[in-house]
Structure 1
Amino acid sequence: MHMMISMLTITVTKMKLPEPLFVIINPVMRLVLSSPLHFVASRSLLLMRYRGRRSGIWRTTPLRYVEDGDVFRCFSSRNTQWWRNLEDGAQVTLTVRGKRVDCEAAVVTDQARARALLAAYLEQFPQDAAYHEVSLTPNRQPDPASLERAAANSVVVEARP
């Protein structure tokens, strides 16, 4: 853990997993989340099955999510590729807490709304701040300046049944 002290905030940056590990982690999480053992991770992770926009191949990606009524929200970096398949809206199948849910998914394009949703997400999952390069204040709230930068580099996907 790295700690940096400034006049306004104390920035705590937790270590994030190296990207190459996800080559191992994602298949394991796909297996766990689609099994009867899903309960060990399904309170905060789901599987999203979507069709590649060019290839037509179905893919399944494990994602952290928040649930807001009947809306499932997932957050990612713009540097990843999976979300591009949903830019124009797409039918997806989510596996949430062991149940399959057919949904229409779309990328949130309003930047102010995406920023507010990212802030709410990081309040619920402050441990994910490092993945979005967001600093946290001493009371574990997203630092406004780093949140603004992160929002420009983040993607919010909403899926509705």
Structure 2
Amino acid sequence: MFVNAFVAALLRSRLHGLLSGSVMLVTLLGRRTGRVLAFPVNYVRDGNALWTVSMPGRVWWRNLREGAQVTLRIAGWDLLARGTALTEPQDVAAGLARLVAVRPSLRRTLGVPNERSDSSDADAFRVAGSKRIVIRFDPVAGDTP
């Protein structure tokens, strides 16, 4: 928790540039508690969309199952966005494939071997997706990352 608080403070400061290329701060309201939650996550930019990956055992993404408005602190700016957790296996696999298409270096992090064929690649994304949740953030009208 201390590390998250430190990274969050850094992202809110003038020194945010040290991390802003790959880390953003997500702020949202807890669905059940109504408390404001803020935590740093790694992200990948794909056009206007921003993507992140979480483990199923984490709880923060559950606030986004049905989609929810969030504030993203990215590159020193606050951005209003709609966050949606992708939990269906085919959606998670497709999301991971998109992330790897945008940032191929994620293959290793996600445990997806270098592609050999389309079918084995699809299987590898399905396996990787069984251990992860993909979250997509789309800016609300008028805001862009």
Is the TM-score greater than 0.5? Answer: yes
2:13 and 2:107 map into 1 onto residues whose CA distance is 25
Where does residue 116 of structure 1 map in the other structure? 94
Where does residue 98 of structure 1 map in the other structure? 76
1:9-42 CA distance string (max 9 Å, x none)? xxxxxxxxxxxxxx23211110111111111111
1:128 and 1:53 map into 2 onto residues whose CA distance is 33
TM-superposed deviation, 1:122 = 4.5
Structure 1 counterpart of 2:132, one-letter code: S
Where does residue 35 of structure 1 map in the other structure? 13
Where does residue 70 of structure 1 map in the other structure? 48
TM-superposed deviation, 1:109 = 4.0
> Are 2:20 and 2:74, in contact at CA under 8 Å, matched by a contact in 1?
yes
Structure 2 counterpart of 1:62, one-letter code: P
List runs of 5+ in structure 2 lacking aligned partners: 140-145
Evaluate the alpha carbon distance shift between residue 128 and residue 26 of structure 1 in structure 2; reply closer, same or farther with a 3 A threshold.
Answer: farther
- Give the alignment's TM-score, normalised by structure 2: 0.79
Moved more, 95-104 or 105-114: 105-114
User: 125, 129, 132: which one pairs with 1:151?
Assistant: 129
2:34 and 2:92 map into 1 onto residues whose CA distance is 28
List runs of 5+ in structure 1 lacking aligned partners: 1-22
Q: How many residues align?
A: 134
User: 63, 66, 77: which one pairs with 1:88?
Assistant: 66
Tell me which stretches of 4 or more aligned residues in structure 1 moved more than 6 Å: none
Alignment of 1:24-63 (within 5 A): 24-63=2-41
> Are 1:122 and 1:129, in contact at CA under 8 Å, matched by a contact in 2?
no
Please state whether the residue corresponding to 1:153 is helix, strand or coil: coil
Give RMSD over aligned pairs. Answer: 2.4
1:26-78 CA distance string (max 9 Å, x none)? 11110111111111111011000011111100010101111112111111111
TM-superposed deviation, 1:146 = 5.0
2:96 and 2:37 map into 1 onto residues whose CA distance is 25
